[in-house]
Amino acid sequence: MLEKIDDALWLAEGEIVSFYGFPYPTRSVIVRLSGGDLWVWSPVKLTDELRGQIGGLGRVAHLVSPNKLHHLYLKSWKAAYPDAKLWGPQSTIRRHSGLEFCPALNDTTPCPWQPDIDQAWFRGSFFMDEVVFFHRSSATVIIADLIEAFSESFLLKHWKWWQRPLATLDGIVLKKHQAPLEWRLSFLDRSPARAARARILSWSCKRVIMAHGQWQRSDGHAFLRSSFDWLG
């Protein structure tokens, strides 16, 4: 289940889940920090096979939710790795009152992964915020829902005939690769999001891995710039 992307970065494809009746793939990124610990972004369903493969990489130390929608499997991963620390923005923390989180994620990179990973906090929407990450050594930007890029083949296989035109209208197909329209419209105050965009465009990005859709293996900087044109 694990695909090695770079020396210290792996990708795990999870199951397809229903989001208000629309099939969405799930995807996780695993980074081995310079100290040897594992940083797990947006954990997917933890199968025995995946757990066995992860066991060969190192100690799971950090479980990271980038936004309030990417939380489904935090509880099961925490049960499997009780010593791992839970991280997320305040919007995620509010959804899990029964779990103990570290201080809420924002624009300041926590010390445990500061040498390896930078981050930017997109806020200004009344609907949702998200923390975007940059793994320096692999030059990889890691994004959850701020960019979605469904391929035509995925939509033909998994979405119903009446759902597929909605993906185009929403701007989440490979040719447009943006945040969903309703989320874009919810950014009533765009200045914090523009500051976050400036930060991610300052990163020397080679590739962009998103949670949903076909991720970008090259020309990452140009991909990011066009994906955030909607911010003006």
- How many domains does the chain contain in total? 1
Q: How confident is the model at residue 1 (pLDDT cuts 50, 70, 90)?
A: confident
Pairing outcome for strands 60-64 and 38-41: parallel
Residues 100-109: what's their mean pLDDT? 97
Q: How confident is the model at residue 97 (pLDDT cuts 50, 70, 90)?
A: confident
Q: How confident is the model at residue 98 (pLDDT cuts 50, 70, 90)?
A: confident
The CATH number for 112's domain is 3.60.15.10
Length of the chain, in residues: 232
The tokens for 127 are 């609907």
Give me the pLDDT at residue 19, please: 87
Question: What is the C-alpha separation between 93 and 95, in angstroms, rounded?
Answer: 5
pLDDT digits (tens, 9 = 90+) for 17-69: 998 899 999 999 999 999 999 999 999 999 999 999 999 999 999 999 999 99
Question: What is the C-alpha separation between 210 and 12, in angstroms, rounded?
Answer: 12
Task: For residue 162, give Cα distances in angstroms to 23, 69, 168, 170, 181.
Answer: 13, 24, 11, 13, 18
pLDDT digits (tens, 9 = 90+) for 157-166: 999 999 999 9
Question: What is the C-alpha separation between 3 and 180, in angstroms, rounded?
Answer: 27
Give me the pLDDT at residue 2, please: 94
The model's pTM is: 0.96
Q: Where are the beta strands (DSSP E) in the chain?
A: 2-6, 9-19, 22-32, 38-41, 60-64, 85-87, 117-122, 130-135, 140-143, 207-210
The average confidence (pLDDT) of the chain is 96
Q: What range defines the domain where residue 45 resides?
A: 2-231
